[in-house]
Structure 1
Amino acid sequence: MTVYAIAELTIVDPDAYGRYLDKFFDVFSQYDGALLAADNSPDIIEGSWPHDKLVLISFPDRAAFDAWATSPEYEEIAQDRKAGARSTVIVAEGVLNPLELRRGK
């Protein structure tokens, strides 16, 4: 089942985060993920959101996400992401059948 990773980032060191971005696609392209959104100023429709950036990526399944997120190549560049931004990362499973939402499954 498709999984989505949502990252909320507050940039604290633009240089370190820039180094991460410079290498991100070289690593990401080796895995079966898709970049769906990367927005430095998303519209806040309801509530408050104290971050600078939102990123949304997808993978065919949790195993593909885990392979990318725990790969030595990603772990190496993630050091700059962690130094450059305070992050909250959430992984959520997609929905096979939208009717399941109505049934509370």
Structure 2
Amino acid sequence: MPAYVVIDLDVSDPSGFQQYIDGVTPLIEQAGARNLLIDDNAVVLEGDWEPATLVIHEFASKAALQEFWDSPEYQPLKELRRKYSSVKVVAGESPDLPWQDRPQS
């Protein structure tokens, strides 16, 4: 079942951050994932969350996402990302169940 990464991204140095983009894009593709959304003008419909840039990636599964996140190739890119931006990152999986049939927490 697909897993989604939702990122609240605030880039402090666009030219430096481009190094991260250049490195991470092929890794995302190699992981079989894809960018679904990159929006620096997201509309807040309710609440107080106002991401500078909203990013959503889709992976085949949480396992594929975790493998990408923990991969040795991605580790130096995380440091590069942290150098030129700040992020909040969450991930979730989307079971193919009707809403009422999902496990309750």
TM-score range, shorter chain: 0.7 to 0.9
> TM-score normalised to the size of structure 1?
0.85
For residues 58 and 47 of structure 2, the distance between their equivalents in structure 1, rounded to whole angstroms, comes to 25
Q: % of aligned pairs identical?
A: 24
Give the number of equivalent residue pairs. Answer: 103
Equivalence for 1:40: 40
Equivalence for 1:5: 5
For residues 102 and 23 of structure 2, the distance between their equivalents in structure 1, rounded to whole angstroms, comes to 41
For residues 16 and 70 of structure 1, the distance between their equivalents in structure 2, rounded to whole angstroms, comes to 23
Q: What's the CA shift string for 1:37-82, capped at 9, x where partnerless?
A: 1111111111223431111111111111111111122112221111
> TM-score normalised to the size of structure 2?
0.85
Aligned amino acid, residue 37 of structure 1:
L
Alpha-carbon RMSD across the aligned residues, in angstroms, is: 1.6
For residues 91 and 37 of structure 1, the distance between their equivalents in structure 2, rounded to whole angstroms, comes to 14
